[in-house]
Amino acid sequence: MRIDIISAQPALMESAFAHSILKRAQNKGLVEVQLHNLKDYGLGKHRQIDDYQFGGGAGMVMMVEPILKLIQDLQSQREYDELIYMTPDGELFEQKMANQLSLKENLIILCGHYKGVDQRIRDHIITKEISIGSYVLSGGELAAAVVSDAIIRLLPGVLNDESSALSDSFQDDLLAPPVYTRPAEINGWAVPEVLQSGNFPKIEAWREAKALEITKEKRPDLLEGESL
């Protein structure tokens, strides 16, 4: 898979891709992530990428031309499955969408900033608009990193078998059961006996029961069907 991320502030995302699992996924050649600075395509000697909005009002709007040129450059090199725009009024990002996007080959993610992008980019270029939740961020960059992380960790070979993405919270509409490591007791706090029993069917049953109990308590909406 290849993900091209377009932003006026690409440095905001560098660290997210330069560590831990996302770094390893790239080093293994399982995904290629390219951050593109929209300013490189800005107009004139000031590399302008935004302008006042027609009709007046506070806030600058990202111009069509730099975005269009950058995207056309990318499209001349390969075909893209989706051109995604990160925006608080997009479709809510959930595990199911991460699963679907993880099956794609090439993605472009455009990060909004300022007041957003000229509507014509959204009308004619963008194929999918994503929000990561009902709150407003100062730009789409952190949201793009969130979405990319959720997608990349699903790619075959990124996680090992033990931490397989299939056992994640949400993947089966259930939150994950609690986990413990050594020591078996500290401060008088003991690890549940069953986990030390070596009886794997019993352990599995305990984990399933716990997952159900925790989901009922914290996210009953997940048990009401279709939500994922």
Beta carbon nearer to ligand 6GU, 66 or 140: 140
Q: 20-27 and 141-152 helices cross at what angle (nearest 10)?
A: 60
114 binds ligand 6GU (CB under 6 A): no
- Nearest approach, Cβ of residue 135 and ligand 6GU (Å): 5
Q: How many residues bind ligand 6GU (CB under 6 A)?
A: 14
Could you tell me which residues come within 8 angstroms of residue 3 by beta carbon, excluding any fewer than 6 positions away? 31, 32, 33, 34, 106, 107, 108, 109, 148, 151, 152
Q: Quick check: 7 and 36 in contact, CB under 8 A?
A: yes
Bridge partners of residue 108, in order along the sequence: 4, 83
7 binds ligand 6GU (CB under 6 A): no
Which of 74, 86, 109, 152 contacts ligand 6GU by CB under 6 A? 86
The answer to whether the bond into 183 is cis (omega within 30° of 0) is yes
Which of 26, 51, 68, 88 contacts ligand 6GU by CB under 6 A? 88
Tell me the pairing of strands 82-92 and 106-111: parallel
Structure tokens of 53? 């909005």
Q: x/- binding map, residues 123-162, to ligand 6GU, per CB under 6 A?
A: -------xxxx-xxx-xx--x-------------------
203 binds ligand 6GU (CB under 6 A): no
87 binds ligand 6GU (CB under 6 A): yes
Binding site for ligand 6GU (CB under 6 A): 86-88, 112, 130-133, 135-137, 139-140, 143
